[in-house]
Amino acid sequence: MIDLDDIDRHFLRALSRDASLSAGALARQVGINQSVAWRRVKRLRDAGVFAGRRVELDLDALGFTVTVFLGIKLATKGLVSLDDFERAVRAIPEVQIVQHTLGLFDYRLRVVARDLPDFERVLRRRIMTLPGVGNVEANILLSEERLTGPI
């Protein structure tokens, strides 16, 4: 596990808001040399602190107005059915997130759709037909905020 000082934390917070910040821009924010800032960001990157860059799009403007979280309970269990399910579910383009969970549901899915009829199409044709799928609970996302977290 990597140790962080205040400058590292500042860089993490800054980059988790705006990934396009250059080493120069980061360096100016904290008043250090640009090459030092570059080395610090590289150290963070090498330690695997960044999970990946995410492009932020205006989904409404692109015609995707509905996001739904699905809790899925499998009807049949066993290693084979988990593999089949996971392979099939990750191939669905409308499914953004798939998490294997412990608790009320076996899987948690984040699904985007153009509107409610489009969501119904995805649900009926793609989700309900997944191998082994049992109970499905849907919750429509109304608002979402991302917080910096403990850094």
Partner 1 sequence: MKFMQIDDTDRRILRQLQAAPDALPRDLAERAGVTPATFTRRMEKMREARILRGAREDIHWPALGYAVEVSLRFSLDKTDPRAFDDFIAAARLVPEVIGIQTFLGRVDVRLLVIARDMGHYQSVYRERILTLPHISDIEALVNVATIKSETSVPL
74 close to 81: Cβ distance less than 8 angstroms: yes
Q: What are phi and psi of 9, to 5 degrees?
A: -60, -40
Whichever of 32 and 98 has its CB closer to partner 1, that residue is: 98
CB of residue 19 vs partner 1: minimum separation in angstroms? 4
3-class SS string, 79-91: HHHHHHHHHHHHC
Whichever of 27 and 89 has its CB closer to partner 1, that residue is: 89
Closest CA to 66 of 17, 130, 112: 112
Whichever of 117 and 150 has its CB closer to partner 1, that residue is: 150
Residue 26 burial (10 A CB sphere; 0-12, 13-18, 19+): buried
CB of residue 43 vs partner 1: minimum separation in angstroms? 12
CB of residue 93 vs partner 1: minimum separation in angstroms? 4
Whichever of 33 and 99 has its CB closer to partner 1, that residue is: 99
CB of residue 95 vs partner 1: minimum separation in angstroms? 7
Taking the C-alpha atoms of residue 136 and residue 115, their distance in angstroms, rounded to an integer, is: 19
Residues that bind partner 1 (CB under 8 A): 1-2, 4, 12, 15-20, 47-59, 61-62, 64, 69, 71, 86, 89-90, 93-105, 107-108, 112, 137-151
